[in-house]
Amino acid sequence: MFKNGSLTNEYMKIIHVVASLDPAQGGPARSMPSLAAAQAKLGHDVTLFYNAASDRMEDIKVATASIPHFDLVNTVICPQPGGLEKFTGNRAGRIFKTILDKNAVIHIHGLWLPILQKAASLSIKQGAKYIIAPRGMLNPWSLNQKSWKKRLALHLVWRRILNHAFFLHVLNADEKKFITSLNLNCPMEIIPNGIFPEELKKLPPENRFYNFFPRIKNRPYILFLGRLHHVKGLDYLAKAFNEFAKKNGKVDLVVAGPDEDAQDKFEKQITHYGITKRVHMVGPLYGEKKYAAFVDAKCFCQPSRQEGFSMAAAEAMGCGLPVVISKNCHFPEVA
């Protein structure tokens, strides 16, 4: 597995650690289980360790069911933290100890949260090699949200953890540039997220999305798919679509995703613009419904303030859909 301090292509035991697989959390909740499944398909022993609330397990099951080979991945679930556990991660640490193997590769996805800190600290203590994927959390926009807490955590805890990492798994050249400016003492490897070809070979037939949502009445539409959160730029989307709608009366907007405190503001904005009949809120989409939305859309739009790596944009392009995204998606391949 390790030879002269480097990873080999031989059989590996891999333990992925992520705060949540809840699809409502977006990002790593989709890309990380796909990575784990791809590794398991190659014959590696892969375990996925994460927090989950009992009332979210059904959504997690539905979201991961469409990931090819995910059934080959072992899962160890830590109950959703409450009370002091939200701050200490002690229970998560105790559970992680039972699966930690110093000969395994520990792959930690994200920063800041106690479950991730415990996994890294215990790996250091046991002499296990670990990789950290910051997932855009060290990009300037992300660091500026609750900045004093993050700067303090970076100074007191996370700089040491990051500097001890075998390497940092970054998603694009911009992320590498941003992290370089922090003067950390650790190597970085650019490894973008991917999509299983199998998912794109079994796309739904055209017009399936309209069968799921007949109220849209076969009208052509632009698709936004993602968390309804301030970071996703829904205010930009509403303003831009309002200008577009003045010039084009035939194409609507479909907004798909779980609400994270931005839906009410967005709906008030489109009401103010008088375009509510042209905007269709369809909630979160997973599996066949998600791919049906891509297949029938005319264009995908993501005006985000910050993305680590847009899985939705990658999936849209995989379905042959034109995409319009902001430069903050850090996806220069889109031109």
User: For 56-108, what is each residue's pLDDT tens digit?
Assistant: 999 899 889 889 999 999 999 999 999 999 999 999 999 999 999 999 999 99
Look at the chain and report how many structural domains it folds into.
2
| Same domain for 120 and 185 | yes
Residues 137 and 163 in one domain: yes
> Do residues 6 and 88 both lie within one domain?
yes
Q: How far apart are CA 235 and CA 241, in angstroms?
A: 10
Same domain, 115 and 246: no
Domain boundary among 158, 190, 222: 190
Own/partner contacts of 306-309, CB < 8 Å, gap of 24 or more, are 306/136, 306/139, 306/141, 306/142, 306/231, 307/136, 307/331, 308/27, 308/134, 308/135, 308/136, 308/137, 308/139, 308/171, 308/175, 309/27, 309/31, 309/135, 309/136, 309/171, 309/172, 309/192, 309/193
What is the pLDDT at residue 27?
Answer: 67
Quote the pLDDT of residue 335: 66
Mean pLDDT lowest among 5-14, 174-183, 261-270, 271-280: 5-14
Residue 35 tokens read as 């990575």
Q: Identify whether 195 is part of a domain.
A: no
Block residue for tokens 């968390």: 227
Are both 224 and 186 inside the same structural domain? no
Answer yes or no: is 253 within a domain: yes
Residue 220: the pLDDT is 98
| 334 domain residue, yes or no | no
Give the model's confidence band at 28: pLDDT under 50 very low, under 70 low, under 90 confident, else very high. confident
CA 7, 190, 161, 21 torsion: positive or negative?
A: negative
Please indicate, yes or no, whether residues 34 and 146 belong to a single structural domain of this protein: yes
Average pLDDT along the chain: 93
Domain final residue, candidates 190, 212, 240: 190
pLDDT tens for 106-138 read 999 999 999 999 999 999 999 999 999 999 999
Cα 192 vs. chain centroid, distance in angstroms? 12
**Which of 190, 224, 243 marks a domain boundary?**
190
Say if residue 7 is in the same domain as residue 139. Answer: yes
Residue 63 is predicted with a pLDDT of 85
Q: Do 232 and 182 fall within a single domain?
A: no
Domain span holding position 119: 2-190
**226 vs 236: CA distance, rounded Å:** 14
User: Mean per-residue pLDDT for 24-45?
Assistant: 89
pLDDT at 190: 96
Is residue 335 in some structural domain?
no
pLDDT at 52: 93
Which of 25-29, 254-258, 286-290 shows the lowest mean pLDDT across its residues? 25-29
pLDDT at 59: 87
Please check whether residues 295 and 170 belong to one and the same domain: no
179-238 confidence digits (pLDDT tens) = 999 999 999 999 999 888 888 888 999 999 999 999 999 999 999 999 999 999 999 999
Confidence (pLDDT) at 211: 96
- Sign of torsion, CA 206 331 161 6? positive
Segment 228-253 shows an average pLDDT of: 96
* pLDDT average, residue stretch 309-332: 93
Q: What is the pLDDT of residue 24?
A: 79
Q: Is the pLDDT of residue 4 over 60?
A: no
2 or 22, higher pLDDT: 22
36/172 same-domain check: yes
Q: Is the pLDDT of residue 9 over 80?
A: no
Same-domain pairing of 61 and 156: yes
In this prediction, residue 294 carries a pLDDT of: 98
pLDDT at 5 over 80: no
Do both 48 and 141 map to the same domain?
yes
Specify if 43 maps to a domain. Answer: yes
Query: Is 150 among the domain residues?
Result: yes
CATH number at residue 58: 3.40.50.2000
- What pLDDT shows up at residue 231? 95
Tell me if 173 is assigned to some domain.
Answer: yes
What integer is the mean pLDDT of 158-184? 96
